[in-house]
Amino acid sequence: MLEVRDLSKSFGGLKAVDRASLDVRQGEIVGLIGPNGAGKTTLFAAIAGFHVPDSGRVAFEGRDITGLPPHRICAAGMVRTFQITQPFAKISVRQNIMVGAYLHTADRRLAAREAEAVAQTVGMTDQLDQLGADLTVAGRKRLELARALATGPRLLLLDEVMAGLNPTEIVEIVGVIKGIRDAGITILLIEHVMQAVTSLAERVYVLNQGRMIAEGTPAAIADDPQVIEAYLGHGAAKVLRA
């Protein structure tokens, strides 16, 4: 469904993403993990059209979308959320979600109905009339999810939807994400927290210093010495094994 090949992106002299490749197949939940500053968000931004990659190729459902602007990619059926939540602060949650729903309908009533349906999916029905600015961190994360869902995507790119949430909230949002997948939407998610990924993703990619260093099931990844070293430092794998 999503095919990323040898994608590179630098900022000045810094290679944020260095020839990274990944595949997402229909119906999967795929995780993308890596230590801080590994280039996860940059890779996401390059996939979703926010950065034009220096080289490499991104294909979505067989169509080359490299370098297309974000709104075209969104219209094609792939939408991202932001790690740093970006609610439309001065309008209600309902209106926030309607902006997403307006992608495929110009009808106000229809958009409002869809917003309500999506709000139910992510568990925001009680907050529909709150202002975007008045939401808690957990509420904002849900709103990010809701707005993206309202655009009717087939592939959802989630950038750290669990960061900053407490354990109860994480359990809740994991349930929401599973529900979304069960509704037929494929998901690629970035997580900093390994634990969150293992409970969700069937396959995990590990990015370190811009390079893809491993790919596999969460269990296999957790045992991979390269991954352990990426997180804990050089020699850590040996220490752990001993």
Can you give the binding site for other proteins, defined by CB under 8 A? 48, 50, 69-71, 74-75, 79-82, 86-92, 94-95, 98-100, 102-103, 106, 108, 111-112, 129, 131-132, 147-148, 150-151
Residue 66 or 151 having the CB closest to other proteins? 151
Q: Closest distance between other proteins and the C-beta of residue 146, in Å? A: 11
Residue 140 or 203 having the CB closest to other proteins? 140
Q: Closest distance between other proteins and the C-beta of residue 99, in Å? A: 4
Residue 115 or 214 having the CB closest to other proteins? 115
Collapse the DSSP code of 63 into the 3-class scheme (helix H, G, I; strand E, B; otherwise coil) and give the result: strand
Sign of torsion over alpha carbons 2, 142, 159, 225: negative
Q: Closest distance between other proteins and the C-beta of residue 134, in Å? A: 10
Q: In terms of DSSP H, where are the helices of 34-166?
A: 40-48, 70-76, 93-101, 108-122, 137-150
Long-range contacts, 129-132 (Cβ 8 Å, 24+):
129/92, 129/93, 129/94, 130/92, 130/93, 131/89, 131/90, 131/91, 131/92, 131/93, 132/87, 132/88, 132/89, 132/90, 132/91, 132/92, 132/93, 132/96
Residue 66 or 81 having the CB closest to other proteins? 81
Q: Closest distance between other proteins and the C-beta of residue 13, in Å? A: 24
Residue 82 or 205 having the CB closest to other proteins? 82
Q: Closest distance between other proteins and the C-beta of residue 185, in Å? A: 16
Contacts of 141 (CB under 8 A, 6+ apart): 85, 161, 162, 164, 165, 173
